A and B are shown apart, each in its own frame.
Chain A
Amino acid sequence: GAVVSQHPSWVICKSGTSVKIECRSLDFQATTMFWYRQFPKQSLMLMATSNEGSKATYEQGVEKDKFLINHASLTLSTLTVTSAHPEDSSFYICSARDGKLRTLTYNEQFFGPGTRLTVL
């Protein structure tokens, strides 16, 4: 159980186009999903927190108009990179929390396999 998928696993696009990445929790309901980006040989950097049915909360320095996040259902969150440029090329990873877990001190997140975005 507790599987998170991402689609696509990799995408190549031209500069100026928009790219949508999907994150799905396959066997549980995820009230909260998180989006990270990771540059080569670096750690994960949290971009935003996505809560089902409400607006995403963005980390400082992340442009919300460029990285559009939609969490319309308990099993799906999408990240759209609008007007992508080469500097947006990165590895994007999502994670999801199981909404049924009520333990306050145990923050279990399940990670997707990541999406490699290359902008030419």
Chain B
Amino acid sequence: SQQGEEDPQALSIQEGENATMNCSYKTSINNLQWYRQNSGRGLVHLILIRSNEREKHSGRLRVTLDTSKKSSSLLITASRAADTASYFCATDDPGNTGKLIFGQGTTLQVKP
């Protein structure tokens, strides 16, 4: 089942602008991950943030986690046309089965 909800569902920006995507989840988690998917391709792991972390950076990516609100955000700074893709958050199954529960995803279009 999908427990994550992401907003916006679609986002269109100009190259150079920042893009922010949000993800909400329902149960307790050990960690939350963000993935990218280019059209018709597999998933690329972007970043993982543990439940005891509040913010994490990786290059132009910044992820925040608010466990009290059960939400996370992914910020892509200085976007490029190559960032055009779908972005998904995924939380681990609280039953420690190893399953990942994916959000609905945000489709990002970066216009050159």
Contact = CB atoms under 8 A, between A and B. Distances in A.
Given A43-B105, A45-B2, A91-B40, A109 B100 contact: yes
B9 to A, nearest CB: 9
B73 interface: no
Interface of A: 6, 32, 34, 41-46, 49, 59-60, 91, 93, 95, 97, 104-114, 116
Interface residues of B, number: 28
Interface of B: 1-2, 30-31, 33, 35, 40-45, 48, 50-51, 88, 92, 96-105, 107
A105 B42 contact: no
Contacts of B92: 107
Contacts of B31: 105-107
Contacts of B104: 42-43
B100 A34 contact: yes
A91 B2 CA distance: 17
Given A107-B31, A116-B40, A46 B103 contact: no
Contact of A43 (B42, B48, B103): B103
Given A43-B2, A105-B50, A107-B31, A112 B42 contact: yes
Contacts of B105: 42-43
Residue with the greatest number of chain A CB neighbours at <10 A, chosen from B44, B51, B98, B107: B98
Contacts of A32: 98
B74 to A, nearest CB: 15
A108 to B, nearest CB: 8
17 contacts: A32-B98, A34-B98, A41-B107, A43-B105, A46-B101, A60-B1, A93-B42, A95-B43, A104-B30, A106-B48, A106-B50, A107-B31, A107-B33, A108-B45, A111-B35, A112-B42, A114-B41
